[in-house]
Amino acid sequence: MIVLDTHVMVFDALRPARLSARARREVDKAADSQELACSDISLWEIAMLVARGRLEPGMDANQFIEDLLAFRRIEVIAITAGIAVLSQSDAFAHGDPADRLIAATALFYRAPLITSDAKLRKLKNPATIW
């Protein structure tokens, strides 16, 4: 399994050239073997970006999210008690609660995280790809 940060899902769907070559390869490879996942908080982030006009996918937010998940067969991982508690660990010195939950999801499942977020990439764990 590989966990995708929210912006990676958006870039993959709308602006694939913004992904690094390595990120693109890993997304393609994991999609072929149906091993892509995301935290459920990413769905909220995408809906919020569309509602605020910061993301214009050319369709309503619900359809965009459903199409994005279906196209790459992305598994949506629910925030569990373990993930919630792990996200509050001192290991995640990140101010964005959504990013903390996304990183904690990857760490909880011992999965790499594809992200361009410099703060997340500096963490010792989870392993990141960019």
pLDDT at residue 22 in the model:
97
Tokens linked to 120: 């997340």
Question: For residue 81, what is the domain's CATH number?
Answer: 3.40.50.1010
DSSP state of 17: G
Per-residue pLDDT of the chain (130 residues), as tens digits, is 999 999 999 999 999 999 999 999 999 999 999 999 999 999 999 999 999 999 999 999 999 999 999 999 999 999 999 999 999 987 766 678 999 999 999 999 999 999 999 988 988 888 999 9
Are 13 and 36 in contact by the 8 Å Cβ rule? The answer is no
Nearest to 86 by CA among 57, 110, 53: 110
Number of separate domains in the chain: 1
Tokens linked to 26: 């890993």
> Which residue shows structure tokens 């970006």?
49
Indicate left, alpha or beta for 49 from its phi (over 0: left) and psi (-120 to 50: alpha).
Answer: alpha
**Residue 125 located in a structural domain:** no
pTM for this predicted structure: 0.93
pLDDT at residue 76 in the model:
98
